[in-house]
């Protein structure tokens, strides 16, 4: 079911190509999820994050395995709702509540249109800070490239809150951009990522300006840091299941 969904789901339903950083900018402002970004985000993320479609598909597979009747499935920082759609399609008619949360109204509005187009079940949407959402009766929680945008000192607080609201057989899927273990490894991972972006049509100017925009907004950490934090938050089993260059995904269980 999940693999069929991956074939059917259009990675860039709007058809708009990301060219936000194609022209030289005198001052590159901080990256924000505004209307302009929402319009091109599907293209942006598919051309910028290696393995993104695989991660989305596997989120559906994990939801199919762990979603229990009557439970809630949370997509925290849902952006355009790809993970929510993947979970919804995977669980079929199972009686679960899908909850999609994002603090950017332009992103959530486009996500709602995705839900209407791809899912038969209703999705509970919240335009809110994920740190302020109540988590309860959760069988699946997804943080898909979301935690990296929170201040470092607030990440453990959120993970503890998520763990407290999860069922004992639940699963947390945490996907993140990471830093290399040392300066040499980090440089290699960054170079490989930039090569990936060039192969997908981004110019060196676009890569440089986008990196500047994200510099103070997205703070990557080591794999070991994520693992320790998840364990400190109360997750007894933490597995790194995916890595491509400096993009990873963990499965964490109580």
One digit per residue, the tens of pLDDT, for the chain of length 254 reads: 444 544 444 444 556 899 999 999 999 999 999 999 999 999 999 999 999 999 999 999 999 999 999 999 999 999 999 999 999 999 998 999 999 999 999 999 999 999 999 998 889 999 999 999 999 999 999 999 999 999 999 999 999 999 999 999 999 999 999 999 999 999 999 999 999 999 999 999 999 999 999 998 999 999 999 999 999 999 999 999 999 999 999 999 99
Following DSSP, what letter does each residue of 179-223 receive, concatenated?
A: --SSHHHHHHHHHHHHHHHHHTT--HHHHHHHHHHHTTT---B-H
Structural tokens at position 142? 């997804």
pLDDT of residue 122: 87
Residue 77 among known ligand-binding residues: yes
Residue 79 among known ligand-binding residues: yes
Backbone angles phi, psi at 136, to 5 degrees: -155, 150
- Alpha-helical (H) ranges within the chain are 2-8, 35-48, 52-66, 82-91, 105-118, 152-164, 183-199, 204-214, 223-232
Is pTM beyond 0.75 here?
A: yes
Classify residue 166: in a domain, yes or no. Answer: yes
| Number of folded domains that form the chain | 1
Query: Can you say whether the dihedral through the CA atoms of 191, 192, 195, 196 is positive or negative?
Result: negative
pLDDT of residue 3: 44
User: What domain range is 93 assigned to?
Assistant: 52-178+219-253
pLDDT of residue 121: 83
Distances (CA, A) of 215 to 23, 24, 28, 30, 218: 19, 17, 11, 8, 6
Classify residue 66: in a domain, yes or no. Answer: yes
Classify residue 20: in a domain, yes or no. Answer: no
Residue 102 among known ligand-binding residues: yes
Residue 109 among known ligand-binding residues: no
Classify residue 109: in a domain, yes or no. Answer: yes
> Which residues have C-beta within 8 Å of that of residue 247, sequence separation ≥ 6?
49, 50, 51, 175, 176, 177, 178, 193
pLDDT of residue 15: 61
Residue 129 among known ligand-binding residues: yes
| Element holding 93 (H helix, E strand) | none
Classify residue 125: in a domain, yes or no. Answer: yes
Structural tokens at position 69? 């009747």
Classify residue 123: in a domain, yes or no. Answer: yes
Classify residue 193: in a domain, yes or no. Answer: no
Residue 78 among known ligand-binding residues: yes
Structural tokens at position 248? 């990873």
Residue 186 among known ligand-binding residues: no
The CATH number for 87's domain is 3.40.50.150
Classify residue 3: in a domain, yes or no. Answer: no
């Amino acid at each position: 079911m999940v693999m069929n969904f991956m074939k059917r789901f259009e990675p860039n339903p709007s058809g708009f190509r990301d060219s936000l950083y194609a022209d030289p900018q005198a001052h590159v402002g901080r990256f924000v999820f505004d209307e302009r970004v929402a319009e091109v985000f599907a293209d942006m993320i598919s051309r910028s994050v290696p393995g993104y479609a695989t991660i989305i598909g596997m989120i559906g597979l994990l939801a199919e395995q762990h979603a229990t009747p009557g439970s809630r499935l949370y997509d925290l920082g849902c952006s355009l709702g790809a993970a929510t759609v993947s979970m919804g399609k995977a669980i079929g008619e199972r009686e679960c509540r899908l909850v999609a949360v994002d603090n950017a109204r332009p992103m959530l509005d486009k996500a709602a249109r995705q839900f209407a187009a791809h899912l038969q079940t209703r999705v509970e949407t919240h335009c809110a800070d994920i740190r302020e959402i109540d988590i309860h009766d959760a069988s699946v929680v997804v943080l898909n490239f979301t935690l990296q945008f929170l201040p470092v000192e607030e990440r453990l607080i959120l993970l503890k809150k998520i763990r407290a609201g999860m069922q004992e057989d639940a699963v947390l899927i945490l996907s993140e951009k990471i830093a290399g273990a040392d300066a040499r490894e980090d440089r290699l991972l960054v170079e490989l990522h930039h090569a990936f972006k060039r192969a997908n049509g981004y110019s060196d100017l676009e890569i440089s300006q986008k990196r500047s925009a994200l510099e103070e907004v997205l703070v990557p950490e080591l794999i070991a840091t994520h693992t320790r934090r998840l364990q400190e938050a109360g997750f007894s089993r933490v597995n790194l299941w995916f890595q491509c260059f400096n993009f990873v995904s963990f499965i964490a269980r109580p």
